[in-house]
């Protein structure tokens, strides 16, 4: 005697279809919330929940959305911001022509290649966090005094780092003084690649370079292209290493 087939078991109906999944993946990977008239430019789990409900009529919990994104091979990441003013043609020209030419010129003169950048710091830009009761913002007592300073640094392709503290506003004179110190410390000719700050292009700097007879040379990055400057990573790394209670140890932190 043949046993009767067990009754079919149907689980809970799926909340999201294959078409919904494909639509969501394309929406997240090929655009941003502004494309869907949402008031934020970054994807968050709550934004994606709102988008699914608005566009596809699908309601998911925040944890379900996070698991779904994980299945897509996506993860939360800190985005790199890129200026819309950047000219792709100038970037390509720099990478294919200007930078190789700078490397060749540096080798010709036996020079060391450096990337240069500047940054400002303030004593009230606290980066640290502390544990506290929920709903009660912790208060750290300090003197209330504020100060700031500017730094200029140069990093070579092999990771050599040189820096100096600048008093007051940066200008052509102080930039040239740094180049002289850098040349002295390097103990060989230097080739500097810098951004397009106005004083980098000043007449004083151009006249100074003409008197150096190959001891100090200079080229420029394409406009609005900080990711092409390795020295930018020095400044990006700084907040993680600065003491949370001020900048008194800045020189110790930076000396390499």
Residue 109 confidence (pLDDT): 94
Query: Other C-beta atoms within 10 Å of 30: how many?
Result: 8
Greater confidence, 235 or 208? Answer: 208
User: Do 43 and 154 belong together in one domain?
Assistant: no
Does 21 score more than 80 pLDDT?
A: yes
Same domain flag for 184 and 219: yes
Domain span at 208: 88-128+146-254
What is residue 198's DSSP assignment?
A: G
36 and 115, same domain (yes or no) = no
Residue 91 pLDDT level (bands cut at 50, 70, 90): very high
Q: Which residue has the tokens 């740094």?
A: 178
Report, as an integer, the average pLDDT of 131-159.
76
Residue 6 lies in a domain: no
Q: Please report, for the domain that includes residue 105, its CATH number.
A: 3.30.420.10
Are residues 118 and 164 both part of a single domain? Answer: yes
Could you tell me if residue 40 is inside a domain?
A: yes
What is the structure's pLDDT at 253? 32
Model confidence band, residue 146 (pLDDT cutoffs 50, 70, 90): low
* pLDDT in the model for residue 31: 86
**Which of 120-124, 144-148, 178-182 has the highest average model confidence (pLDDT)?**
178-182
Identify the pLDDT of residue 84.
Answer: 80
How does residue 168 score in pLDDT terms, banded at 50, 70 and 90?
confident
Which phi and psi angles does 223 have, rounded to 5°? Answer: -60, 145
12 has pLDDT over 70? no
DSSP assignment of 45-73 equals HHHHHHHHHHHH-----HHHHHHHHHHTT
Contacts of 124 (CB under 8 A, 6+ apart): 146
Amino acid 189: pLDDT: 97
CB 219 within 8 A of CB 115: no
Residue 35 confidence class, pLDDT cut points 50, 70, 90: confident
Q: Look at the chain and report how many structural domains it folds into.
A: 2
Q: Is residue 11 part of a domain?
A: no
Shared-domain flag, residues 107 and 167: yes
> How much is the average pLDDT of 34-60?
89
- Are the C-beta atoms of residues 105 and 191 closer than 8 Å to each other? yes
Q: Which residue has the higher pLDDT, 124 or 60?
A: 60
Looking at the structure, tell me whether residues 193 and 154 fall in a common domain: yes
Greater model confidence, 181 or 12: 181
Mean pLDDT over each residue of the chain, to the nearest integer:
82
Q: What is the pTM of this model?
A: 0.64
112 plus 232 within the same structural domain: yes
pLDDT at 145 over 70: no
pLDDT tens sequence across 219-253: 999 999 988 998 887 766 555 555 444 443 333 33
Residue 10 located in a structural domain: no
Q: Are residues 105 and 59 in the same domain?
A: no
Position 135 pLDDT exceeds 90? no
């Amino acid at each position: 005697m043949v046993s009767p087939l067990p009754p079919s078991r149907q689980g809970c109906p799926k909340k999201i279809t294959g078409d919904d999944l494909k639509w969501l993946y394309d929406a997240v990977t090929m655009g941003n919330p502004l494309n869907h008239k949402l008031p934020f430019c970054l994807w968050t789990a709550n934004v994606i929940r709102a988008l699914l409900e608005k566009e596809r009529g699908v309601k998911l919990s925040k944890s379900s959305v996070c698991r779904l994104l994980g299945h897509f091979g996506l993860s939360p990441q800190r985005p790199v911001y890129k200026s819309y003013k950047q000219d792709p043609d100038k970037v390509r020209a720099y990478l294919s022509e200007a930078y190789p030419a700078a490397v060749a010129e540096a080798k010709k003169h036996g020079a060391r290649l450096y990337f240069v950048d500047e940054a400002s710091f303030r004593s009230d830009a606290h980066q640290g966090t502390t544990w506290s009761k929920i709903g009660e913002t912790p208060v750290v007592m300090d003197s209330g005094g504020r100060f700031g300073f500017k730094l200029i640094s140069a990093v070579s392709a092999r990771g050599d780092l040189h820096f100096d503290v600048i008093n007051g506003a940066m200008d052509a004179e102080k930039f040239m003084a740094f180049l002289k110190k850098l040349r002295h410390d390097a103990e060989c000719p230097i080739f500097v690649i810098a951004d397009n700050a106005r004083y980098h292009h000043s007449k004083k700097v151009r006249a100074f370079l003409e008197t150096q007879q190959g001891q100090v040379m200079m080229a420029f990055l394409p406009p609005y292209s900080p990711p092409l400057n390795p020295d930018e990573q020095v400044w990006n790394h700084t907040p993680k290493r600065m003491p949370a209670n001020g900048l008194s140890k800045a020189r110790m932190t930076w000396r390499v």
